[in-house]
């Protein structure tokens, strides 16, 4: 036993342990930490986007929709699409470039996702007691 201990190249043993065990574990932990940070950033930007959409929908509703809602001749599908596009534009302009890039990368069909957020914000504004969210 003493002969094995004296003849062993401890530098090589430590190097092997480092290469086989520790390096993959440290790499895995680093990747998981990076993924977690990325997910938290996406969550934060998603919350910011929803607040922007909610503000844009409120603004468009107050400035455009209330004036033409009662007039059947003016409230056409074309006008509804124009109002929706205006709300989208206002919400996106409030985002930073990096937030926009991260959100478009995270959501495959970002335009459909944004349409869904606008629908949710409109519902939340019309039904504040059932949404559980504060519309202000």
Task: Walk along the chain (136 residues) and give the pLDDT tens digit of each residue.
Answer: 777 777 778 888 888 888 888 888 899 999 999 989 888 988 999 999 999 999 999 998 888 877 777 777 777 788 888 888 999 999 999 988 988 999 999 888 999 999 999 988 888 888 877 655 555 5
Ranges of H-type helices in 1-136: 2-7, 10-17, 23-60, 66-68, 77-93, 97-106, 110-126, 128-131
Asked if the structure places residue 30 within a domain, the reply is no
Q: What is the pTM of this model?
A: 0.68
Asked if the structure places residue 16 within a domain, the reply is no
Asked if the structure places residue 14 within a domain, the reply is no
Structurally, how many domains does the chain consist of?
1
Asked if the structure places residue 116 within a domain, the reply is yes
45 is in which domain, residue-wise?
40-131
Asked if the structure places residue 24 within a domain, the reply is no
């Amino acid at each position: 036993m003493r002969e094995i201990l004296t003849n062993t190249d401890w530098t090589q043993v430590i190097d092997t342990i480092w290469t086989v065990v520790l390096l993959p574990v440290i790499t895995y932990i680093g990747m998981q930490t990076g993924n977690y940070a990325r997910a938290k950033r996406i969550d934060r930007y998603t919350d910011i986007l929803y607040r922007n959409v909610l503000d844009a929908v409120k603004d468009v509703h107050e400035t455009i929709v209330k004036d033409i809602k009662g007039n059947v001749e003016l409230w056409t599908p074309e006008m509804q699409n124009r109002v929706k596009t205006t709300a989208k534009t206002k919400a996106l302009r409030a985002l930073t470039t990096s937030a926009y890039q991260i959100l478009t990368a995270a959501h495959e069909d970002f335009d459909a996702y944004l349409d869904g957020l606008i629908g949710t914000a409109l519902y939340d504004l019309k039904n504040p007691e059932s949404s559980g969210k504060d519309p202000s």
